[in-house]
Amino acid sequence: MAAEWRRGARPRRRGSIRTRVTVGAVLVVGAALGLGSVAGVMILANSLTSGVAVALDGDLDTIGDRVEQGRPDLEGIGDDLLVRLAGASGIDVNEDEAAQLPELTEDRTERVVIDDDVYLAASEETEAGLLTVARPVDHVDEAVAAATGLLAVAVPLAVVLIGFVVWGVASRALRPVEHLRSQVDDIDAAGLDQRLEGSGAGDEVDRLAATMNRMLDRIEYAQRTQRQFVSDASHELRSPLATIRQHAELVSAYPESTSKEEFSEIVLHEGARMQELVEGLLLLARLDEHRAPRAMASVDLDDLALAEVRRLRGLGVQVDAGGISSGRVTGSEVLLARALRNLADNAARHARTGVILRVREDPPWVRVEVEDDGAGIAPEHRERVFERFSRLDEGRARDEGGSGLGLAIVREIALTHGGSVAVEEGPSGGARFVLLLPARSDHL
């Protein structure tokens, strides 16, 4: 019960393709722009800070040279640079704020805050003592803050803009699909002759429309075939029923008009016809599924053909069996025997003097030929004979036997076994039916 409920339950609703595409694009672009912005701000900060550090190295070299040449007047150094020299004679600075600079080891820079101003400081050991210089980096922080603020506004705006663009592009791209959907939604069982109109651009939508049109062709053909099949089946079954009812009414009204034996013979004959029709219809219904037979085994077609030879000869039909040789396939012996019997009965029904049966291996096939010396079948009708309830002339009339299903059953059996059947003209001008079946691989 739970499994049935799950199968019958409505699928979970998901957003439309347009929504999912837009959300996906916004997430991907937003993540890319966000990560790129963070990386860009970090690179900017490192680049500006590295520039100040390079300037500090130059300051250390320049001031250090002056110190080693004689104690310079530090107060003459510019306002944007703090200098502190700590030596044996004490500490000398160029600005009062420079006294707050820390003493650093060489090859090291450090950010320090002096009177709310941020500096980058570096030190170098000289003959006069430890020289420490510092440059302000407020402009670095301001530039980083400005870039961060700009990106904080620009990135969301860009993401929103891209979202609108993707939404519009997706809407435009999916509009033909929605048009196709609406067309398909308007097609019902009575309108299967309608066809979809593509965009005419030769794109995926056009190919989808062409594919769906081919699907509609197949559905229309299947429906038409089904209706014709039902109509033909009804007509075929109506005839024996009408015959039985007419004779029953005649016997009821005029008992002396026929004997009990004659009436029984008519009922049995028409009942057999009905049984043959019903069994043929049921077999075709199973074969229509094109499923492999359940009882698959090795089958010797030559044995089946020889059995048909004996049966036909027992009915007084002259049969030439000289062309029967070994031929083994894999399949259902019951179905294959039915196919050979239908071909043999059809040939015997239309032969003038006799029937020829041949079986031979023609790798990768086993070839079965059933030939008669009758009037033959015109080329334009050779495909039609395999249709259900097909009769080409009065010579193939109902009273001479055959329900019009025999050759249709042969074709379905051949297809079920991966083979084919066709009709061609024999040397005598009669019809020669050729059944091809895949040969058993271990028998080749």
Cα 413 to Cα 426: distance, rounded to the nearest angstrom: 23
Please state which of the four CATH numbers 3.30.450, 1.10.3470, 3.30.43, 3.30.70 is assigned to the domain occupying 11-186: 3.30.450
Would you give the DSSP letter of residue 197?
A: -
Cα 85 to Cα 64: distance, rounded to the nearest angstrom: 10
Q: Which residue, among 236, 243, 242, has the nearest Cα to 265 in the 3D structure?
A: 243
What tokens does 312 get? Answer: 């036909």
Q: Which residue, among 157, 199, 200, has the nearest Cα to 174 in the 3D structure?
A: 199
Q: Quickly list H helices, 254-356.
A: 260-287, 301-314, 333-350
Q: Are strands 420-425 and 354-362 parallel, antiparallel or unpaired?
A: unpaired
Mean pLDDT by 10 residues, the chain (444 residues): 45 69 90 92 90 86 77 66 80 79 80 84 82 87 90 92 90 80 76 71 76 83 74 72 81 79 81 76 69 74 94 92 93 90 92 94 93 91 82 48 76 90 91 93 60
pLDDT at 35: 93
Question: CA 127 from chain center: how many Å?
Answer: 82
The residue count for the chain: 444
Q: CA distances (Å), 278 to each of 273, 387, 406, in order?
A: 9, 17, 12
pLDDT at 303: 94
Q: CA distances (Å), 290 to each of 242, 283, 285, 293, 354, in order?
A: 34, 11, 10, 9, 34
pLDDT at 399: 42
pLDDT at 444: 52
What tokens does 267 get? Answer: 């009922």
Q: Which residue, among 237, 295, 313, 320, has the nearest Cα to 271 in the 3D structure?
A: 237
**CATH fold label, 297-443:** Heat Shock Protein 90 (3.30.565)
pLDDT at 347: 93
350 and 372 Cβ atoms separated by less than 8 Å = yes
Other beta carbons within 10 Å of 430: 22
**CATH fold label, 204-287:** Helix Hairpins (1.10.287)
Q: Are strands 318-324 and 354-362 parallel, antiparallel or unpaired?
A: parallel
Cα 166 to Cα 189: distance, rounded to the nearest angstrom: 38
Domain coordinates in residue numbering, the chain: 11-186, 204-287, 297-443
Q: Give the residues across from 423 on adjacent strands.
A: 433
Q: Does the global pTM surpass 0.75?
A: no
184 and 197 Cβ atoms separated by less than 8 Å = no
